[in-house]
């Protein structure tokens, strides 16, 4: 009998989830794990955007036009767009750390292949596959970060995990472009592969692991979309990010009218630095005033758009407006991911994949709609179009106080 009890105890112990499977009791932030997610995001964004700064070198070595070289960015975005929902849904039962390792390994393999490839077709294929890795990574990052901390610090944890995005845009892309001129674009992709190797070792050493979602708790895509609050958040994602990308994608022609064609680097630096400050502010306050922060951010961006529309030919006004724009958009991803995760509950990862898809649609839509506006109404229409989209987003947030962008319970 004693032997039977001992065997039963062993089975119970083996069946009991590991300590890391539960939300930690401590209120301290798990900096190692959160920074690992931030670095993964940094690699993801840098991998996506760095070709834009290296188009002349890439086109010359691959024997293609710069327009064709620009499709390296397009194929990456397409991979993320197509993979986010189906692959996040298919892998939601997987343990989190092995899935993260697989995503980072994807960046290692596909960036290495990009660095070594002499074929334009092969390069496009591996860029698409790198985008697939990104789609899965973005689908799991928010849920992973939130599981590391107690409820009262979930927003702050997500802000830290997302800080890699503005850092990549503010510093990574300019540094990568500079290195590309010095040592060549292939070396830049090689450096990103080396960074992925170091991150893999760090993840295997320090990253906590968590189980996937049990089969009995998995909702269908249609059910997740029907969860109260999910659709309003996705609508705000489309409006907010579309407004941003109309302005950001066609910033260069807009600056020409103000005589700042040669200062686009300075304008982008102002935007990047203010975005970093913005995400820091969001990280400090999000767990206490999430809804007000969304409203303030949208209002601030709308106000900046008005100033760009009224006084877009005045350099000082442009600098100030871009600074406000960066401050209010820097934390957008954190605010929106937190909102959709809270709305979706245990189906947060699937909802996050929907957010990733909506985000990428807005990026593509910004380029498409911006091109139409540029050819028909001119650059002066950009700020006012952004303003109308932001007013729509403000209206949706204001109406979604019970689900989606909830008021903080007292």
Residue 60 lies in a domain: yes
106 and 164 both lie in a single domain: yes
- Per-residue pLDDT tens digits for 341-382: 888 887 878 888 899 889 888 887 887 888 888 889 988 999
Residue 260 lies in a domain: yes
Domain enclosing residue 287, as ranges: 222-399
158 and 71 both lie in a single domain: yes
**Of 213, 243, 258, which one is at a domain's C-terminal end?**
213
Cα radius of gyration (the chain): 22
pLDDT at 44: 93
Q: Are 134 and 363 in contact (CB under 8 A)?
A: no
The pTM of this model reads 0.79
pLDDT at 50: 87
Task: Using CB atoms within 10 Å of the CB of residue 275, give its burial: 0 to 12 exposed, 13 to 18 middle, 19+ buried.
Answer: buried
- Per-residue pLDDT tens digits for 208-259: 999 988 876 777 778 888 888 999 999 999 999 999 988 887 887 888 888 8
Total of domains in the chain: 2
* Gap between the Cα atoms of 114 and 125, Å rounded: 9
Residue 305 lies in a domain: yes
Work out the angle at residue 261's Cα, subtended by the Cα atoms of residues 258 and 265, and round it to the nearest 5 degrees: 115
Token pair listed for 84: 């986010």
* Gap between the Cα atoms of 382 and 308, Å rounded: 9
pLDDT at 268: 79
pLDDT at 24: 56
Name residues whose C-beta falls within 8 Å of residue 394's C-beta, 6 or more positions apart in sequence.
295, 298, 299, 302
- Per-residue pLDDT tens digits for 16-63: 334 344 455 466 889 999 999 999 999 998 998 888 778 888 989 999
pLDDT at 409: 52
45 and 102 both lie in a single domain: yes
Report residue 7's pLDDT band, with 50, 70 and 90 as the boundaries.
Answer: very low
Q: Give the DSSP H/E element, type plus range, for residue 10.
A: helix 2-15
pLDDT at 8: 32
């Amino acid at each position: 009998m004693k032997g039977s009890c001992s065997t039963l105890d062993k089975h119970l112990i083996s069946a009991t989830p590991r300590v890391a499977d539960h939300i930690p009791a401590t209120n301290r932030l798990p900096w190692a794990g959160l920074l690992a997610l931030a670095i993964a995001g940094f690699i993801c964004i840098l991998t996506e955007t760095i070709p834009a700064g290296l188009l002349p070198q890439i086109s010359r070595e691959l024997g293609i036009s710069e327009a064709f070289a620009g499709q390296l960015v397009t194929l990456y975005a397409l991979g993320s767009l197509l993979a986010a929902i189906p692959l996040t849904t298919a892998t939601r039962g997987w343990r989190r750390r092995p899935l993260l390792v697989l995503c980072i390994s994807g960046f290692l393999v596909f960036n290495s292949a990009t660095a070594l490839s002499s074929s334009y077709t092969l390069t496009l294929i591996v860029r698409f596959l790198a985008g697939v890795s990104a789609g899965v990574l973005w689908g799991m990052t928010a849920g992973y970060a939130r599981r590391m901390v107690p409820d009262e610090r979930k927003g702050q944890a997500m802000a830290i995990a997302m800080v890699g995005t503005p850092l990549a845009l503010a510093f990574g892309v300019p540094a990568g472009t500079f290195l590309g001129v010095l040592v060549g674009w292939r070396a830049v992709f090689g450096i990103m592969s080396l960074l992925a190797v170091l991150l893999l070792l760090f993840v295997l050493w320090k990253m906590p692991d968590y189980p996937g979602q049990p089969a009995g708790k998995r909702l269908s895509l249609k059910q997740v979309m029907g969860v109260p609050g999910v659709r309003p958040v996705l609508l705000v994602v489309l409006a907010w990010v579309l407004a941003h990308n109309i302005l950001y994608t066609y910033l260069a022609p807009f600056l020409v009218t103000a005589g700042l064609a040669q200062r686009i680097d300075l304008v982008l630096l102002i935007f990047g630095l203010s975005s970093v400050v913005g995400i820091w502010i969001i990280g400090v306050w999000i767990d206490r005033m999430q809804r007000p922060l969304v409203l303030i951010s949208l209002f601030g961006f709308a106000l900046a758009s008005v100033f760009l529309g009224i006084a877009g030919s005045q350099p000082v006004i442009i600098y100030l407006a871009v600074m406000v724009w960066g401050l209010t958009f820097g934390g957008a991803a954190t605010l929106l991911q937190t909102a959709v995760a809270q709305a979706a509950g245990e189906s947060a990862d699937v909802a996050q994949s929907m957010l990733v898809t909506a985000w990428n649609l807005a990026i593509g839509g910004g380029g498409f709609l911006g091109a139409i506006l540029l050819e028909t109404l001119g650059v002066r229409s950009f700020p006012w179009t952004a303003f109308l989209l932001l007013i729509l987003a403000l209206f949706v947030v204001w109406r979604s106080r019970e689900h989606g962008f909830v008021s903080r319970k007292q």
